[in-house]
Amino acid sequence: MKDMTAPNGPAMALAQATILIVDDVPDNLAVLGELLRQSGYQVKVANSGRAALRFAAQLPRPDLILLDVMMPEMDGYQVLLALRDNPVTRDIPVMFLTALDASHDEQRGLDMGAADYISKPIRPSVVLARVRTQLEAKQARDLLRGQNSFLEAEVARRMAENELIQAISIRALARLAEIRDPETGNHILRTQAYVELLARRLQSHPRFAATLSDDYIKLLARSAPLHDIGKVGIPDAILQKPGKLDVEEWEIMKTHARLGAEAIEQADLDSQKQLAFLTLAREIARWHHERWDGAGYPDGLQGEAIPVSARLMALADVFDALISPRVYKAPIPLAQACEIMRAGRGSHFDPDACDAFLDVFEQMGEIARSHMDVC
């Protein structure tokens, strides 16, 4: 479709518009075509409904169609229906040319989507005025459509940019904890991928379907890297101790869950509106060390009281800890880690979530290998 807002101005753009005239009577085509050409319009003509449909779909497409109602084979009403059924020609305005004078005929055409009627025999001044009115209306619609398309594209671009900034900011915050706990390496990348894979697996499960929507999973994967952000508040002597922690040190280490949740909660309170991904991030940070049997920390939650987000992170976090090297242990082989995870079903882990984890265990191993720590 031609640019109806050319640099030479609206008047010039209207004068350059293409008009398709459809009539089975050659004299009518000649008279109307000459009138419109003398007014500066580009004119196409068709002497049948089928020819009209073919010309309307060709480039340059007409900006307006003047369509005779009474034609053999396909009348104007049938042609109009066919034009509206084709996405390529759907938005081209159509004015009926008719010798019919019954009001119900006019109403029928307008109900079907005709823009206007021109009665035969034509009056040149009336034809030109109505043609110009329809072209100006189309010009306005095209301009508005273009502006809307631009605005939609700009909104989409800014949303994508904001999401990228958000994702980078989250990753940067998570790296702060990782820098102070250098053994974790690519832990945040692996656990993020584990959680998303596990959530997708459970999406159709009756117990999880109501929660695990596409949007929820997207937010879950985005917030997962913040699960250990509270480690920033743990003293270096404990966080970087080259060996197992004693009882007192372990109690201090366990406070990272509460510290992380409180920091995220404060960030949420400081924002002008509540952010859904921070809600999930807080759940994960505080409760990913809870156990299905209630023996976890910091709050001793049990079973369904543990949010779904934290239950899935618990599986991801424990699995990655098993297969990752630490200064006080070697990494456990995948097969052995699988058996340990299976043994935690119903005690450490939600039984159904654990079953789903075991179902995709091979893919979990592929994720682990693709984000392996480089020593």
Residue-level pLDDT at 290: 98
> Looking at the predicted structure, is the pLDDT value of residue 367 above 60?
yes
Residue-level pLDDT at 144: 81
Question: Same domain, yes or no, for 103 and 193?
Answer: no
List of residues 6+ apart from 5 with CB closer than 8 A: 13, 139, 142, 143, 146
- 3 located within any domain: no
List of residues 6+ apart from 313 with CB closer than 8 A: 191, 195, 224, 227, 284, 288
Question: Same domain, yes or no, for 187 and 133?
Answer: no
Query: Where is 43: in which H helix or E strand?
Result: strand 42-46
- 314 located within any domain: yes
pLDDT tens string 173-191:
666 666 666 555 588 889 9
Average pLDDT, the chain: 86
Question: Same domain, yes or no, for 239 and 327?
Answer: yes
Q: Which of 132, 151, 170 is the last residue of a domain?
A: 151
pLDDT tens string 301-328:
999 999 999 999 999 999 999 999 877 7
The domain total for the chain is: 2
pLDDT tens string 316-366:
999 999 999 877 778 999 999 999 999 999 999 999 999 999 999 999 999
For residue 360 the two structure tokens come to 């995709």
- 165 located within any domain: no
For residue 309 the two structure tokens come to 């987000």
- 168 located within any domain: no
CATH number at residue 362: 1.10.3210.10
The residue with tokens 């075509």 is: 33
DSSP 8-state code for residue 246:
-
DSSP 96-112: EEE----HHHHHHHHHH
Question: Same domain, yes or no, for 216 and 365?
Answer: yes
Name the phi and psi angles at 195, rounded to 5: -60, -45
Question: Same domain, yes or no, for 112 and 235?
Answer: no
Question: By CB neighbour count within 10 A (0-12 exposed, 13-18 middle, 19+ buried), where does 229 fall?
Answer: buried
Residue-level pLDDT at 312: 98
- 264 located within any domain: yes
Question: Same domain, yes or no, for 224 and 366?
Answer: yes
Structure-model confidence comparison of residues 260 and 274, the more confident one: 260
Least confident of 79-93, 110-124, 145-159: 145-159
Q: Where are the alpha helices (DSSP H) in 181-295?
A: 187-202, 214-223, 236-239, 247-253, 255-270, 276-287
Question: Same domain, yes or no, for 196 and 52?
Answer: no
Range of the domain at 287: 181-370
Question: Same domain, yes or no, for 281 and 141?
Answer: no
- pLDDT bracket for residue 111 (50, 70, 90): confident
Closest CA to 353 of 232, 220, 163: 220
Question: Same domain, yes or no, for 81 and 217?
Answer: no
Residue-level pLDDT at 300: 96
The two most distant CA atoms of the chain are separated, in Å, by: 103
CATH number at residue 65: 3.40.50.2300
- 121 located within any domain: yes
